[in-house]
Amino acid sequence: MSVPDTYTTLEQRFQRRSRIQDALAILHWDSSTLMPDGAVGGRTDQIAELSLIAREILLDPMTSDLLDSTEANRSALSGWQSRNLDLMRREHTLATAVPSDLVEALQRAGAASEMCWRTARPGNDFAAQRPHLEEIFRLTREAAASRAAALGLSPYDAQLELFEPGLRDADIAPVFDDLSGWLPDLVDDILTRQGAGPQPVQPVGPFPVPAQKTLGEGLMAALGFDFSQGRLDESAHPFTGGVPDDVRLTTRYTTDGFAEALMGILHETGHALYEQGLPVDWRGQPVGGSGGMALHESQSLAVEMQLCRGPAFARYLSPQVSAAFGGQPAFDAANLASLVTRVKRGLIRVDADEATYPLHIIVRYRLEKALLSGDLSIADLPGAWNDVMAELVGVRPPDDRDGCLQDIHWMDGAVGYFPTYTLGALAAAQLTAAVRRALPDLDDQVARGDFSAFLKWLREKVHALALSRTTGEIIADATGAPLSADAFRAHLRTRYLGS
């Protein structure tokens, strides 16, 4: 049986849509890195126009007809084509479920809310942010209800679906319950041990930016980053943007230290390697894209947290840091490894270490579910935030600046995003444990700067599969078990308690 013409036409439509989205990705990257301040109005218009054109391809009634006709001939499709059809249908449903005026209202409200947040957060002004948050959650509740009805899901599951296809709260709840059961005690044990042991020697700056950049680029190349299809630049907040054949990652340098910028580069390199490893044959089709945010985060954390903050990588890194900045006692390999694995009960998620990070996430997970359902009002958010922080992380924010105002996600309507960070951390641990079983001498390879077998494993088991399977299937197939917190717990015990 030959592939139906309707399917071929759909591929062309999604290819066109993908090219518009690729152009948008470059414009977004430019907005965050190079664009002068005075261009923000015009750029916003350009992005809105291209986004609308991309959306119109989905809303066109012909797209719906083509999906239905192809559905009737699904048996003529290959496995990837059939999955591609499912993902086309998913994008179509997500787009058509929400009326265009609500989409626009959310965009406008998000932009206004984010603009307010830029001053409300440093000004510790929850009162100023509150009406924006109320509007954002009101509109998000409405959009989630529409998507939930179209997908046959609960509203929170409809939000999760936006960030990780197929992820349901029923997958998250037991894992987060498990974590909140044992992780606070484990953090206690780690803090006791780190407090009793010797403290790491601090590096002495200044660390010139050009030397930091050269060191970072060298490590990126060693890890397998292809500079003929990507770049390293600077931005206020590190991120990975661009498109698979032009992956653009950023970091933020200070001259006081080098570890934070460097670990930022290594984290984004994990994201970038995933994008560069997506199958070329399926570029521009939904099935050829990267998995959801949880799987994406697992790739950045496998590189940064699992590999590059470990003792084997520190042995590889130590002479390079000395070559870049001149030798000093802090650059001893064991000291470097100690420096990048300090644990602390802190107020700020983005500054958190890998042990306390999941607790920050569970705080947000509990609160955003309550905010979305309406069980918690925005007015009550600051107090609730501080209570859950005290309960889970063990510190109580003195103000909202370092409390419920610290993250941009909710301000912008990204409800359901936070859990993917921790699911990604658990998946990174579980995948890396599987890599270690397959490559018993991984640490020796890493210590001598040979990352090829590690990357090959990720390429085959994760990157090359793109969206042909769900994140749950990919992890279960690669590791032999469904995603759980077990490998993460074992990793923390090994790294921090030596057991």
Binding site for its own copies (CB under 8 A): 16, 19-20, 22-23, 26-27, 30, 34-39, 41-43, 45-46, 49-50, 53, 226-231, 243, 245-246, 283
List the strands of the sheet with 240-243, edge to edge: 230-234, 246-251, 240-243
- Closest approach, Cβ 236 to its own copies, in A, equals 17
Q: How far is CA 93 from CA 149, 161, 185, 208, 404, in A?
A: 10, 12, 44, 50, 33
- Closest approach, Cβ 57 to its own copies, in A, equals 10
- Closest approach, Cβ 91 to its own copies, in A, equals 18
Q: Which is nearer to its own copies, 197 or 210 (CB)?
A: 210
Which of 466, 440, 439 is closest to 453 using CA atoms?
439
Q: Which is nearer to its own copies, 231 or 493 (CB)?
A: 231
- Closest approach, Cβ 43 to its own copies, in A, equals 7
- Closest approach, Cβ 85 to its own copies, in A, equals 22
Q: Which is nearer to its own copies, 36 or 440 (CB)?
A: 36
Between CA 74 and CA 69 the distance in angstroms is 9
Q: Which is nearer to its own copies, 16 or 489 (CB)?
A: 16
Q: Which is nearer to its own copies, 22 or 178 (CB)?
A: 22
Rg (CA), the chain: 23
Q: Which is nearer to its own copies, 53 or 59 (CB)?
A: 53
- Closest approach, Cβ 247 to its own copies, in A, equals 9
Per DSSP, the residues of 323-361 read HHH---GGGSHHHHHHHTT-----S-GGG--TTTHHHHH
Q: Would you say 54 and 24 are in contact if contact means Cβ atoms under 8 Å apart?
A: yes
Which of 262, 266, 275, 274 is closest to 299 using CA atoms?
274
- Closest approach, Cβ 78 to its own copies, in A, equals 24
Q: How far is CA 437 from CA 211, 222, 433, 492, in A?
A: 36, 23, 6, 17
Q: How many CA atoms lie within 13 A of 184 on its CB side?
A: 16
Q: Which is nearer to its own copies, 243 or 433 (CB)?
A: 243
Between CA 233 and CA 10 the distance in angstroms is 36
Between CA 415 and CA 364 the distance in angstroms is 10
- Closest approach, Cβ 416 to its own copies, in A, equals 30
Report the chain's terminal Cα–Cα distance, integer Å: 58
Provide the annotated active-site residues.
268
Q: Would you say 112 and 419 are in contact if contact means Cβ atoms under 8 Å apart?
A: no
Between CA 498 and CA 147 the distance in angstroms is 47
Q: Which is nearer to its own copies, 176 or 225 (CB)?
A: 225
- Closest approach, Cβ 448 to its own copies, in A, equals 28
Is it true that the peptide bond before 206 is cis, omega within 30 degrees of 0? yes
Between CA 476 and CA 489 the distance in angstroms is 18
Residues 6 or more apart whose Cβ sits within 8 Å of residue 21: 54
Q: Which is nearer to its own copies, 37 or 375 (CB)?
A: 37
Angle of helix 259-276 versus helix 452-461 axis, rounded to 10: 50
Q: How far is CA 72 from CA 132, 151, 316, in A?
A: 45, 20, 56
3-state SS of 227-275?
Answer: HHHEEEEECCCCCEEEECCEEEEEECCCCCCCHHHHHHHHHHHHHHHHH
